[in-house]
Structure 1
Amino acid sequence: MNWEVTQMDVKNAFLHGDLTEVVYMKQPAGFVDKSRPDHVCLLHKAIYGLKQAPRAWFDKFSSYLLEFGFICSIKDPSLFVYSRNKDVIMLLLYVDDMIITGNNSEAMAKFKQNLSGQFRMKYLGQMAYFLGIQPHKAAGQGELFENPKYFRSLAGKFQYLTLTRPDIQFAVNFICQKMHQPSVSDFNLLKRVLRYIKGTITMGINFARNTDFVLRAYSDSNYAGCPYT
């Protein structure tokens, strides 16, 4: 719809959060009271490293948006929509990064000014790269690759390679969808697969003479099974 999309982030976002429960912490190194070394600190605000910090920050920021007049999307709690008369503003939040778009530049400017008065904001300009998404100015794929025949030749070789390298199956399938009219961005993805192949040329699954006849499946994902990450 040709709306302006700007990107902003919040400086020291987690330090803005207000705690709604009692939290104590040990005196930080370098700031220990020598006369009372066994005492602890009572936190009034959230700090980095605190488990409650992300929730406290989100609660404070979302409360501000709701007071301003935004409505939180039911489908996606990270999306906030402001609609007054004919003015529409949309804000998508990811931790302390956000993108803002709307149909009225003046309304957006007024909102961003109000936002900067509440939080320490950093203006990053027009959206360039956000959560793996890179917008293009052209309506299509962006700048076209100058040698599509060479692109198709490499992509075809990848297809043969997937017979013995199933780990690149998804990436090759994605690249082959771009063979008709590849862009420079598509060629960069192709080169990324090439670099991956070069870096893993000595890796593989070995079947020796004494290998048993048990069927095994291999995956590079543990489906969020790690309790720490």
Structure 2
Amino acid sequence: MGNDRELLASLLRHLSTTFKIRDLGTPIFFLGIETIPVEGGLLLSQRRYMDDILNQAGMTDCKPLSTPATLTQATSLPTELFKNPTQYRRLAGAFQYLTITRPDISYAVNRLCQFMHAPTDEHWGFLKRVLRYVKGTLSHGLRMSSSPSLDIHAYSDSDWATVDKKSTSG
């Protein structure tokens, strides 16, 4: 994808000398991710996938929420083990794929996945909260926009400055 058709055609010709490729045209729907043209770029959306997750959970008509997790941590004693851990694991795994276009749920999904070995009723309640948040944010996605700069910017919440480079090399 790009805004210079001549450059794209040249790149495709060059790639085709080494690889067997086909130009499928403008991407619309690929691996469950829909590309929606918006002003100044594209929105990558998994709305159909979100609808499928809500349907699998039987929560298509649930009340939506505006946050995926509570701000305070529950301090209650562990509750009973959830009676259907397979359903919990299936939905938590589905959330993992959803984080491709929904980084806003990454923290909540990470927390859910930490309890896959033995989810409790409390964990199931937290998973349902994330489902209700997804229900309220079906139109959210990952926006990609053009930039006049050729610089690549990436962000991470990891603190790599504290890694001792001498201890990691050989």
Shorter-chain TM-score bucket reads 0.3 to 0.5
Larger radius of gyration, structure 1 or 2? Answer: 1
Q: Which has the higher helix share?
A: 2
TM-score, normalised relative to structure 1 = 0.33
For CA contacts below 8 A with separation 6 or more, give which structure has more relative contact order.
Answer: 2
Q: Which has the higher strand share?
A: 1
